[in-house]
Amino acid sequence: MSSRARVATDFSSVTGALPRTEGILNLTPAEAAEYLSKGAILVDLREAYETNFRVFEVPQTIHLPWTLFSKGFERLPRDRPLVLADASGIYGREAARMLRNAGFTNIAKMAGGMIDWDREGLPVRRDPLFELSGQCACKLKTRTGKNPLLDKNAVVIDPSREESP
């Protein structure tokens, strides 16, 4: 087991720079980066097309797109602190509420999502060849069709498959 996995963060006892929402801890991107470096897992709620071009550069990530979240969140680890993040902070609140209602206790959400994370200069992996292009959101695609930025250590939850992270 790595040293990251042994660090015990209890978000219920953390006081962050932002107020809690419905009892759920809100973290600034800088605060989230600190907890992620200490063993928390980032749950990236962005859709596949939103992860092209740039991804969070953090030790552990689980990709569970918001559109699949309600079918796949039960497979998230309950024994590790989870930080929920999306593109701009919109879906994290509802995802955190769903996790709390399902009995998850060690959760936080990152305010501002990838937009604020990137704006604050926190680590991001980029590949300009995979920047999205298209006339409108419904036609966005990469130039080559796949995402090389998702490394082999990232976990992708697919509710249509039975294995868990």
* Average pLDDT of the segment spanning 94-123: 95
Instruction: Please report whether residue 150 resides in a domain.
Output: yes
Could you tell me the CATH number of the domain that includes residue 80? Answer: 3.40.250.10
- Please tell me the distance from the alpha carbon of residue 17 to that of residue 6, in angstroms, as a whole number: 25
Q: Are 126 and 54 in contact (CB under 8 A)?
A: yes
- Please tell me the distance from the alpha carbon of residue 99 to that of residue 15, in angstroms, as a whole number: 20
Instruction: Please report whether residue 52 resides in a domain.
Output: yes
How many domains does the chain contain in total? 1
Q: Which amino acid is at 88?
A: S
Domain extent at residue 149: 3-156
Q: How many CB atoms lie within 10 A of CB 70?
A: 12
- Please tell me the distance from the alpha carbon of residue 36 to that of residue 61, in angstroms, as a whole number: 9
Instruction: Please report whether residue 164 resides in a domain.
Output: no
Q: Which residues 6+ apart lie within 8 Å of 82 measured at CB?
A: 40, 41, 43, 76, 99, 104, 106, 107, 108
pLDDT at 5: 46
H or E stretch including 13? Answer: none
pLDDT digits (tens, 9 = 90+) for 62-91: 999 999 999 999 999 999 999 999 999 889
Instruction: Please report whether residue 56 resides in a domain.
Output: yes
How would residue 4 be classed by pLDDT, with cut points 50, 70 and 90?
Answer: very low
Residue 36 phi/psi, 5° resolution?
-65, -35
Instruction: Please report whether residue 71 resides in a domain.
Output: yes
> How high is the mean pLDDT of the chain?
82
Alpha-carbon distance values, 10 to 25, 120, 132, 134, 140 (Å) = 11, 25, 37, 43, 39
- Please tell me the distance from the alpha carbon of residue 37 to that of residue 81, in angstroms, as a whole number: 12
Sign of CA dihedral 56, 58, 61, 66: negative
Instruction: Please report whether residue 161 resides in a domain.
Output: no
pLDDT digits (tens, 9 = 90+) for 9-38: 889 888 888 888 888 999 999 999 999 999
Instruction: Please report whether residue 129 resides in a domain.
Output: yes
Instruction: Please report whether residue 162 resides in a domain.
Output: no
